[in-house]
Amino acid sequence: MARISVLELKKIHGVSQDDIDLARATQKAQKKSGSVVLPLAVICGVQKRRRKTDNVTDPGTLLERQKRNRGEYDQAALLLDRNALAEKTPERAMRAREAAGIAKELSASAQLEFDFFGGGNVSIAFQYQDAVTERLFDAAPTTTKAKEALSILWTICRHLGWQTYECSKTAAQLCEITRTQKQHMSNALKLLEDVGAIRRVKRGRVKVITVTPEGAFRGNINEHGKTVERYKLNVIDGGADG
């Protein structure tokens, strides 16, 4: 099977950069889990995957294994998200993602406030982005403070750990990255907490900054449901907010 370059995917087959980024993230997850790493063109639905005779795991078998760890609605959402990648028109892809969202709402692992759709290395839901932006401008004492908090939030999302909801940077490290004074950082983080954009969980002497995986997520979408459950258990139900 001839390899199709990224340039060909874009120019000839009309695959968007967002779908290519998501396909690359899927490849990384496949490699990490030890499964067969499929070509970008196959993940994006441009090429057909090779059959069993070529030593590729049969998708039906894979889905049966996944069902042991996922509910039926979660599985339906996963299939719809995958099919959205293969759609040729943005309208059909969006409808598939909307259907996936409905399946997630029906899932036993009930969605949180914001809806997650596939994206790139760090995926940020538009619903989360819009809601947080509006709340910040309403709650912040000045427009400048709101914009500063937004800038810090996207830096937090940039540094989410793989398949987790935790920022890998402390408040002090965020100060260095964003060139922000300590007091300004403290005020911005409190503001972000007040509007529901983040939660801080105290662990020993450190406050870990977390973001709901329904708002921002970095990792394999196959593991997204499990990440949501961990977030609810560790942060919402069992976490000690700082």
Give residue limits of the domains in the chain.
Answer: 1-57, 70-110, 123-237
How is residue 67 written in tokens? 């069902």
From the list 53, 107, 38, the residue with the least C-alpha distance to 78 is: 107
Determine the Cα–Cα distance for residues 134 and 144; give it in Å rounded to an integer. 14
How is residue 110 written in tokens? 């009930």
Tell me what the mean pLDDT of segment 83-111 comes to.
Answer: 76
Give the per-residue pLDDT at 66: 45
Tell me what the mean pLDDT of segment 170-195 comes to.
Answer: 95
Tell me what the mean pLDDT of segment 156-166 comes to.
Answer: 90
Q: What's the predicted TM-score (pTM) here?
A: 0.52
Residue 111 has pLDDT above 70, yes or no: no
Give the per-residue pLDDT at 50: 61
Least confident range of 64-73, 135-144, 145-154, 183-192: 64-73
Are 88 and 14 in contact by the 8 Å Cβ rule? The answer is yes
Residues of the chain with pLDDT > 70: what percent? 79
Residue 63 has pLDDT above 70, yes or no: no
Give the per-residue pLDDT at 119: 42
Task: Read off the pLDDT band of 23 (50, 70, 90).
Answer: confident
Give the per-residue pLDDT at 9: 82
Q: If you ran DSSP here, which 8-state letter would residue 36 be given?
A: -
Residue 109 has pLDDT above 60, yes or no: no
Tell me what the mean pLDDT of segment 133-161 comes to.
Answer: 94
More confidently predicted of 204 and 114: 204
Give the per-residue pLDDT at 76: 78
Residue 204 has pLDDT above 90, yes or no: no
Q: How many helices (H) and strands (E) are present in the chain, helices listed first?
A: 11, 4
Give the per-residue pLDDT at 107: 64
In single-letter form, the type of residue at position 88 comes to: K
Kindly report the CATH number that applies to the domain delimited by 123-237: 1.10.10.10
Task: Read off the pLDDT band of 113 (50, 70, 90).
Answer: low
Give the per-residue pLDDT at 221: 77
Mean pLDDT estimate for the chain = 80
The H or E element spanning position 187 is: helix 182-194
Are 189 and 200 in contact by the 8 Å Cβ rule? The answer is yes
Are 74 and 109 in contact by the 8 Å Cβ rule? The answer is yes
